């Protein structure tokens, strides 16, 4: 299950993101929005998506705002969420393989529909390598989260 959410600017990529998820034979948990008629702030959508992942309702997520920057900043504040903005295929797979990224953030004003689909497909196909230095680094990230709580 892939949680998917957009703010009012990110909704431009809605059809492209859902098409890519369906093409990879994943199910999507649609957390909205479906229109740009009303302003919806990216921190609200980041929280909703991040909590869906934390509750186990989804394994990963795709979060889209205008630039992707705000979405990635907000989502990464949620413990256990490793979100990153990716506008190239290398980052979309390497972020999962090396860093166990679980939320792909996109900027609707930066990438078009075709590139968005490529990035979502690449993100969904990637798997965390695990072990060795990758696991050690992930533990350091978890320690940062614990330090921030204390």
Catalytic residue set? 65, 98
Query: 24: closest CA among 117, 143, 142, 127?
Result: 117
CA dist 36 → 41, 62, 126 (Å) = 11, 18, 31
Q: Under 8 Å CB-to-CB from 4, ≥6 apart: which residues?
A: 17, 18, 21, 28, 29, 30, 31, 49, 61, 62, 63
């Amino acid at each position: 299950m892939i949680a998917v959410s957009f703010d009012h600017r990110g909704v431009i990529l809605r059809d492209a993101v859902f098409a890519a998820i369906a093409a990879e034979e994943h199910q999507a948990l649609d957390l909205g929005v479906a229109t740009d008629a009303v302003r919806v702030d990216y921190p609200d959508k980041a929280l909703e998506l991040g909590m869906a992942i934390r509750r186990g309702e989804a394994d990963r997520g795709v979060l889209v705002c205008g630039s992707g920057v705000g979405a990635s900043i907000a989502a990464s504040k949620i413990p256990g969420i490793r979100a990153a903005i990716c506008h190239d295929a290398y980052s979309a797979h390497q972020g999962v393989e090396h860093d166990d990224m679980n939320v792909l953030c996109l900027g609707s004003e930066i990438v078009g529909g075709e590139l968005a689909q490529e990035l979502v497909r690449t993100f969904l196909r990637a798997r965390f390598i695990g072990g060795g230095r990758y696991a050690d680094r992930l533990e350091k990230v978890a320690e940062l989260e614990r330090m921030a709580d204390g």
